Amino acid sequence: MAERENEDRDQPLLMAEGLGKSYGRLTACRDVSFALYPGEVLAIVGESGSGKSTLLQLLSAQLAPSAGHVSYRMRDGVMRDLAALGEAERRFLFRTDWGYVHQDPALGLRMAVSAGANVGERLMAVGWNHYGRIRDTAASWLERVEIDIDRIDDAPRTYSGGMRQRLQIARNLVTQPRLVFMDEPTGGLDVSVQARLLDLLRNLVSELDLAAVVVTHDLAVARLLSHRVMVMKGGRVIESGLTDQVLDDPREPYTQLLVSSILPV
């Protein structure tokens, strides 16, 4: 497992404190607090309407919180409140230090542009100026996510759902981010394709020492990918802890219900 140099692994990478979001009288989520450390994967599980998607948007600074703070430790070691970042800083973070994998890969890709350009775009955005090197780097990433290199000049419009998702992952990882947000990364894929993708994700997260926040309704995904899990219901975190512990020995009745309804794989 690759470890980043000079990283203080005892300091949290991402911190939420009393985080909440309301729309008028409707509260989407409230009172969320946790700390995420480098190389750690946190799963947020719950049914639809539990507030988990809103929470992901808050954590990735795509929504402004109604209450509480989200802070992120920048590459220079300083902890910054995301709400205080300027738009330029936020967009730069998104292109370099962070990744965001959408449930629908079409949202995270340029569908009409070649796979090579999709992966190379972030490199070009940070100043890479050599076509050959950009292309070679893109090709090596396609290999890494198990996409046939011959498809490098094809647009993702011509890809299957599973391939698109793997391309989206490659596009996100090319700048070696420290933190990746994933919104139902295997949603909408066939069961066998899901399994392969989860395997890939697990290996990449480990090889690249990524921290990740994964939102999913599927406990099997949480079990496979995450170290820790938070269970959400009605906008609140009702239970959290080490994944194996929570899933093997759930305390809350709702968590027990969720666990008991998993079909054995």
Nearer to another protein, 167 or 231 (CB): 167
Among 114, 194, 243, 255, binds another protein (CB under 8 A): 114
The total number of residues shown for the chain amounts to 265
The CA distance from 52 to 32, in Å, is: 11
Contact between 113 and another protein by CB under 8 A: the answer reads yes
Taking CA atoms, 158 is separated from 20, 106, 193, in Å, by 40, 12, 17
Contact between 150 and another protein by CB under 8 A: the answer reads no
Contact between 124 and another protein by CB under 8 A: the answer reads yes
The alpha carbon dihedral of 110, 133, 135, 141 has a sign of: negative
Among 51, 68, 99, 116, binds another protein (CB under 8 A): 116
Q: Is the distance from CB of 51 to CB of 29 less than 8 angstroms?
A: yes
Nearer to another protein, 125 or 242 (CB): 125
Among 3, 5, 10, 87, binds another protein (CB under 8 A): 87
Contact between 136 and another protein by CB under 8 A: the answer reads no
Taking CA atoms, 201 is separated from 58, 95, 180, 222, in Å, by 23, 20, 11, 12
Contact between 120 and another protein by CB under 8 A: the answer reads yes
The CA distance from 179 to 14, in Å, is: 9
Contact between 24 and another protein by CB under 8 A: the answer reads yes
Binding mask of the shown chain, residues 89 to 108, with x at each position contacting another protein by CB under 8 A: --x---x-------------
**To the nearest whole angstrom, how small is the minimum distance from the Cβ of residue 50 to another protein?**
21
Tokens of 8: 């203080």
Nearer to another protein, 114 or 255 (CB): 114
Q: Find, among 47, 200, 51, 168, the residue nearest to 102 by Cα.
A: 168
Which single residue is written with the structure tokens 């330029």?
88
Residues in touch with another protein (CB under 8 A): 23-26, 87-88, 91, 95, 110, 113-114, 116-117, 120-122, 124-125, 129-132, 134-135, 152-153
